[in-house]
Amino acid sequence: MSDIDPKTQTELEAAVFRRLVAHLRGRTDVQNIDLMNLAGFCRNCLSNWLKDAADEKGVPITKDESREAVYGMPYDAWKAQHQTEASPAQQAGFAASQAKGH
């Protein structure tokens, strides 16, 4: 990708982010803890990274707004509709990944 100009690279990266967010919105069966256990990040991480990027650029965005941008709805509504109680195995996996520094 070294032959791609910076503007095009940014556009491609933005398209990938939008596609990832759309994919996660469609996969409400995949819980955040599953994402954390497998990949070390989740929807909340994405929303935090979005807020961090906005803060760096001086763009005013709240934590709730960044979460809604990722979840496609208010976070509390998403949790009420889609979040399930973490199983003991999921909790153990999360604890193990946190112990490794993820």
Give per-residue pLDDT as tens, 16-53.
999 999 999 999 999 999 999 999 999 999 999 999 99
Residue 102, pLDDT > 60, answer: no
Q: What are phi and psi of 41, to 5 degrees?
A: -150, 165
Instruction: Please give the model's pTM, rounded to 2 decimal places.
Output: 0.88
Percent of all residues in the chain with a pLDDT value above 70, rounded to a whole number: 97
For residue 2, the model assigns a pLDDT of 80
Residue 1, pLDDT > 80, answer: no
Confidence of residue 77 (pLDDT cuts 50, 70, 90): very high
Distances in Å between the Cα of 80 and the Cα atoms of 21, 41, 76, 93 are 19, 21, 6, 23
Q: Do the beta carbons of residue 64 and residue 48 sit within 8 Å?
A: no
For residue 59, the model assigns a pLDDT of 98
> What token pair was written down for 70?
């990722």
Which class for 30: exposed (0-12), middle (13-18), buried (19 or more C-beta within 10 A)?
Answer: middle
